[in-house]
Amino acid sequence: EAGVTQFPSHSVIEKGQTVTLRCDPISGHDNLYWYRRVMGKEIKFLLHFVKESKQDESGMPNNRFLAERTGGTYSTLKVQPAELEDSGVYFCASSQVLRHEQYFGPGTRLTVT
């Protein structure tokens, strides 16, 4: 069974540009989560989808971040326009309904210069 995959693995962009990160969850997992780790800090929750619906987006830093999950399969996280403080590693995780363990992808390392 394939795990959670994320694309790209690395992205380097200039301040003001747009970047879109993609996450493909484990097949059959209705729950999808986005997290972010800024260097030296803890991994922080961004938002949670159940199928295509946003269940909780309380962790989204500001309106420059837009997450979508059309059709309840893969998800995208767009940052527009990117700022220097957006640099970090963005993790995606998925889980089955009513199961507490989350399965994480390898992360996308975003560097904004």
Partner 1 sequence: AQSVTQPDIHITVSEGASLELRCNYSYGATPYLFWYVQSPGQGLQLLLKYFSGDTLVQGIKGFEAEFKRSQSSFNLRKPSVHWSDAAEYFCAVGTGNQFYFGTGTSLTVIP
Nearer Cβ to partner 1 (36/79)? 36
Nearer Cβ to partner 1 (11/82)? 11
User: 25 CB contacts (<8 Å, ≥6 apart)?
Assistant: 4, 32, 73, 74, 75, 92, 94
Place of tokens 């957006």: 86
Supply the minimum distance, in Å, between the C-beta of residue 80 and partner 1: 24
Nearer Cβ to partner 1 (15/99)? 99
Supply the minimum distance, in Å, between the C-beta of residue 3 and partner 1: 7
What are the residues binding partner 1 (CB under 8 A)?
3-4, 33, 35, 40-45, 48, 55-56, 59, 91, 93, 100-107
Nearer Cβ to partner 1 (34/82)? 34
Supply the minimum distance, in Å, between the C-beta of residue 56 and partner 1: 5
What is the secondary structure of 57-98 as a DSSP string?
A: -TT--STTEEEE-GGGS-EEEEESS--GGG-EEEEEEEE-TT
CB distance 10 to 108 below 8 Å: yes
